A and B are shown apart, each in its own frame.
Chain A
Amino acid sequence: MATSIAHRATGIALSAGTILLAWWLIAAATGPDAYHVFAASAAHPVGQIVLFGILWSLAFHFFNGIRHLAWDVGFGFDVSTANRSGVAVVLLSLLAAIVVFLLAHGVLH
């Protein structure tokens, strides 16, 4: 199913995301100027799209990963349950990504 290849694709995206994580930490460790460059890049529309993409990737990989772990221990592996949990993972990850993104912008409180 499509969730399988999406698990890979989001995993690759998150691997790339570790570069941004390292950049963020190094910028914070270096000083105000370096941090400003990071913060300005993150606030830029392109940066926002990239960050939302990584956020959704994390949410999808998180929920679908739990689904995989459940399969590993023998739960929900029949076709109809797997199909339904697949749809649930897609919807849940989108909802979670949007809610977290809005929270990060201080929209929801």
Chain B
Amino acid sequence: MGTQTPLARVEGLGAAHSGTEHFWRQRVSAVALIPLSIWFVCAAVALAGADREAVVAFLHQPVNAIAMALFVIASLHHSVLGLQVVIEDYVHTEGWKLALFLCNQLFAWILGAVSLFALVKIAL
């Protein structure tokens, strides 16, 4: 506290330069995933062993398509935030850390685009 400049103290961002933003987003996505995960497990149980027609019919329902899209988005968001902390904690070489941050983000964007495209294709 004593060594902080007055500017740093009002900004309140600390050593990570992002303040409590990461912490808060992690909690918001965690809370969102409580009902979404329960819904997903119920859907997965209902569709386990079903043929493609049943899965398509299920995801063709707007409510299910939207819930699945929310589950995908919330999961990937939560996953990116969680993996970022794992990388921060275990990777200490600056170059590797940066490369893994990049992979983490890009991988989630790609998976999200692929999953949402599939959902749109089925739902419409």
Contact = CB atoms under 8 A, between A and B. Distances in A.
A51 B27 CA distance: 26
Nearest to A24: B55
Contact of A19 (B52, B59, B111, B118): B111
B105 interface: no
A11 interface: yes
B1 interface: no
Interface string A25-67: 1111101100110010001000000000001001000100110
A27 B55 CA distance: 10
A43 B37 CA distance: 22
Interface residues of B, number: 33
B7 interface: no
B41 A100 contact: yes
B21 interface: no
Interface residues of A, number: 33
B102 to A, nearest CB: 16
What does DSSP make chain B's interface, helix, strand, loop or mixed? helix
A18 B75 contact: yes
A29 B122 contact: yes
A25 B114 CA distance: 9
B55 A105 contact: no
A35 B55 contact: yes
B63 interface: no
Interface of A: 8, 11-12, 14-15, 18-19, 21-22, 25-29, 31-32, 35-36, 39, 43, 55, 58, 62, 65-66, 68-69, 72, 100, 103-106
